Amino acid sequence: MLKIIVGILSVLSALLGWSAAFADVESSTELVRRILQEAVAEPSNPAKVESLLKILIESPAGSGRYVVEGDIPIAREEIVDYLKSLKNPDIANSRSDELIVNLVGGKFDYWKNPEQRKLTYGFDDKSFPTAENVQFTRAKFRAAADDWVAACSDCGITFTEVAENPFFRIKYEPTSDGTIAMSFFPSSPPTDRFLYVYKPFLTPDLQFDHVGVLRHEIGHILGYRHEHIANIPGCATEGTNWKPITPYTANSVMHYFCGGKGSLDLALRDADKRGHRCLYLTGKACPVSN
């Protein structure tokens, strides 16, 4: 989910996926805030950007893709534009409503055509520590996918596991930095079509519901951004390329555990289902209720 957080972390550290490696010098919250503010203030300053990159998580290692907003990967060359979007937010989009869809070129980023909605996936079995881990993740993913399909049975969305040439792969990464899982948007290039689960996901004492974690990640695959994306006290702003399609829902499947809101079960709420149906059946936001 761009990132779901294990334990109680500072808000900025949690949402941006940063660690507390420098806590001995200054608190992780202070460090993150300072480096982020400096980079946002001077996004064209290479030194400021490099300082930021040094504390961002690169995932997978050596890929040149960094985790922002907790579980969203962006390429090194996209960092400057991302920082500029935080410096100059779109006032028209500064209210936080839910369900929220990603925008690309001003258009909704979702699976518009019926054929695109027949999503296939496969497991990178060898990346997991054990065969039992694969089966555990397989069962949790299947349950999460079924929940999204049931939320709009007439939307034509399917998730089918295949042995060869899947549309996206589910892969394990042995990273233990607080990141639980990460996926992609419909507009992501083929090289980014992975749903990663990280070391904390396989721990039995994970605070979050395992199926819920994958429900959240599938939400991104279907085009949805984080519910708390702007103007929620205690949660960080996450860029401006989004548009609300239903009223704000504090316990949405797409809401982080921040600002005194969110949930550990990450279940699909009625507002999530309504927004999902509006987008995939009409291609539009839900009508505003009086």
Residue 177, domain member (yes or no) = yes
- DSSP symbols for 114-129: GGGGEEEEEE-GGGSS
- pLDDT at residue number 222: 95
| 24 plus 142 within the same structural domain | no
Would you say 143 and 168 are in contact if contact means Cβ atoms under 8 Å apart? no
Does pTM surpass 0.75? no
Tally Cβ neighbours within 10 Å of residue 159: 20
Domain edge (last residue) among 32, 66, 88 = 88
Name the band, by pLDDT with cuts 50, 70 and 90, for residue 184.
very high
| C-alpha span between 249 and 262 (Å, rounded) | 9
- pLDDT at residue number 289: 58
| C-alpha span between 152 and 117 (Å, rounded) | 12
Pairwise pLDDT comparison (275 vs 240), residue with the higher score? 275
pLDDT tens, 190-229? 999 999 999 989 988 888 889 999 999 999 999 987 654 4
| 67 plus 192 within the same structural domain | no
User: Which two tokens mark 10?
Assistant: 């500072």
> Whose CA is closest to 14, among 68, 78, 80, 81?
68
> Whose CA is closest to 252, among 237, 233, 266, 234?
266
pLDDT tens, 26-62? 455 466 667 777 777 788 888 888 888 877 777 677 7
| C-alpha span between 202 and 210 (Å, rounded) | 9
> Whose CA is closest to 214, among 223, 225, 201?
201
Q: What is the rounded average pLDDT of the residues 155-180?
A: 91
pLDDT tens, 68-114? 655 566 677 777 877 776 555 443 333 334 467 788 888 899 999 99
Name the band, by pLDDT with cuts 50, 70 and 90, for residue 129.
very high
Q: What is the rounded average pLDDT of the residues 265-289?
A: 85
Cis peptide before 60 (omega within 30 of 0): yes
| 128 plus 268 within the same structural domain | yes
| C-alpha span between 177 and 272 (Å, rounded) | 29
User: Which two tokens mark 111?
Assistant: 């699976």
Angle between helices 28-41 and 46-55 (to 10 degrees): 150
| C-alpha span between 69 and 260 (Å, rounded) | 18
pLDDT at residue 172 tops 50:
yes
- pLDDT at residue number 244: 43
* Domain total in the chain: 2
| C-alpha span between 6 and 217 (Å, rounded) | 16
| 71 plus 167 within the same structural domain | no
Pairwise pLDDT comparison (41 vs 231), residue with the higher score? 41
Residue 3, domain member (yes or no) = no
The residue segments making up the domain with residue 17 are: 11-88
Q: Which residues are registered as beta bridge partners of 45?
A: none
| 72 plus 134 within the same structural domain | no
| 78 plus 105 within the same structural domain | no
User: Which two tokens mark 69?
Assistant: 């907003």
Q: What is the rounded average pLDDT of the residues 242-262?
A: 48
| 150 plus 277 within the same structural domain | yes
